Amino acid sequence: MNIQADILELLSQFSQLPQEKAEKLRHWLSQTFSYEPKVGILGKTGVGKSSLCNALFGKDTAKVADVESCTRKPQEIDLFGKDTAKVTDVGSCTRISQEILGNIKLVDMPGIGESIERDREYKDLYSKHLPEFDLVLWVLKADDKTFSSDEEFYHNIVKPHLEQGKPFIIALNQVDKVEPYKEWDMENCLPGKQQQINIDAKSKHVAERFGIDITAVVPVSANENYNLITLVETITYALPKDKKVTFVNSLKDENRSEKAKEEAKRGVFEAIGEFLGDRFMGKEGKDFGKMVGKIVDENSTLGKVVNSIAKMFFSWW
């Protein structure tokens, strides 16, 4: 099947766009639907980055291999399917590994919990790579007594290089180990009453210490599959509108909630509206197109075109 030709045929069949405009829209749609989101994964060794990625994107697709604590090189993993991964070193020295599922790139960044002496080196490293990420996900271990090294690294090394508006989310992992851990409901995979109170307090504390909104701190347990849907939806809502759909596509089926799918679709329609408005009417047209994209009916001409094309790429659409 020639997807590019099929897209062009659909565009000419459903719309009145001139050939040149249809070709530009085809190119934009192809790029958007095949885009690989790039997510920066931060967190100390042992916080459960690997297990969280496995739980979100597919069992045993993520592996972390620590290569001594001189680990100063981020490693980028492209996953094109459950059994296909390409690992690319990004830097110079030795460090890290992480892998995930579906057309998505995870970059496990080094540095947290090492030494003050490395700070200057890491400032350059983070200055280079943070702007490349569509989203930064920081993983903390919920039952840690203190996050002082994480806080210091965030405020001194990471925060200065986070672009304004860059999505930044903290996953508070392993909440099943928060005291009183014996309250954890093993059958239903839910925290007990006092445990939930302590988890809420820990989430509030983390949000205050990092200076972020509490909605950007999501308590989860990768091992217990607890609250993963909330994390997925939080990430989906935070991503740029044209980057949502391929992130949602990379998830395990059971983590792809209806809310996440609807938000991904909404993002696509808004982005298309902006694209068409900008091409036809410039800046004002872009704003108008965004508004139209928000209210477009899936049974409209535009809706039929987008739905038909999206189904070529995404089985869940």
Angle between helices 49-57 and 228-238 (to 10 degrees): 80
CA-based torsion, 95, 218, 210, 212: positive or negative:
positive
Determine the pLDDT at residue 299: 60
The residue ranking higher by pLDDT, 297 or 254, is 254
Determine the pLDDT at residue 224: 96
Closest by CA position to 24, among listed 255, 282, 276:
276
Write out pLDDT tens, residues 259-286: 999 999 989 888 887 777 776 665 555 5
CA distances 57 to 75, 101, 103, Å, are 18, 5, 11
Q: In 3-state terms, what secondary structure has residue 288?
A: helix
The answer, yes or no, to whether residue 250 has pLDDT greater than 70, is yes
Q: In 3-state terms, what secondary structure has residue 36?
A: coil
Determine the pLDDT at residue 27: 83
Q: For 74, left (φ over 0), alpha (ψ -120 to 50), or beta? A: beta
The residue ranking higher by pLDDT, 32 or 309, is 32
Write out pLDDT tens, residues 222-238: 999 999 999 999 999 99
pLDDT (mean) for 36-50: 90
**From CA 73, how far away is CA 83, in angstroms rounded?**
24
Determine the pLDDT at residue 307: 81
**Least confident span in 52-56, 59-63, 98-102, 298-302:** 98-102
Pairing of strands 135-141, 168-173: parallel
Write out pLDDT tens, residues 145-193: 999 989 989 998 899 888 778 899 999 999 999 999 999 999 999 999 9
Q: In 3-state terms, what secondary structure has residue 246?
A: helix
Write out pLDDT tens, residues 116-131: 777 777 878 888 889 9
Determine the pLDDT at residue 80: 46
Q: Residue 291 — pLDDT band, cuts 50, 70, 90?
A: low
Determine the pLDDT at residue 223: 94
Neighbour order of strands in the sheet with 135-141: 84-89, 75-81, 104-108, 38-42, 135-141, 168-173, 217-219
Which among 5-14, 127-136, 182-191 has the top mean pLDDT? 182-191
Q: Residue 290 — pLDDT band, cuts 50, 70, 90?
A: low
Q: In 3-state terms, what secondary structure has residue 141?
A: strand
Q: Residue 298 — pLDDT band, cuts 50, 70, 90?
A: low
User: Is the Cβ–Cβ distance between 72 and 95 less than 8 Å?
Assistant: yes
pLDDT (mean) for 242-248: 93
Closest by CA position to 218, among listed 205, 203, 208:
203
The residue ranking higher by pLDDT, 299 or 212, is 212
**From CA 126, how far away is CA 156, in angstroms rounded?**
11
CA distances 27 to 32, 33, 295, Å, are 9, 10, 24
Domains of the chain: 3-34+259-313 (no CATH), 38-238 (3.40.50.300)
Distance between terminal CA atoms of the chain? 19
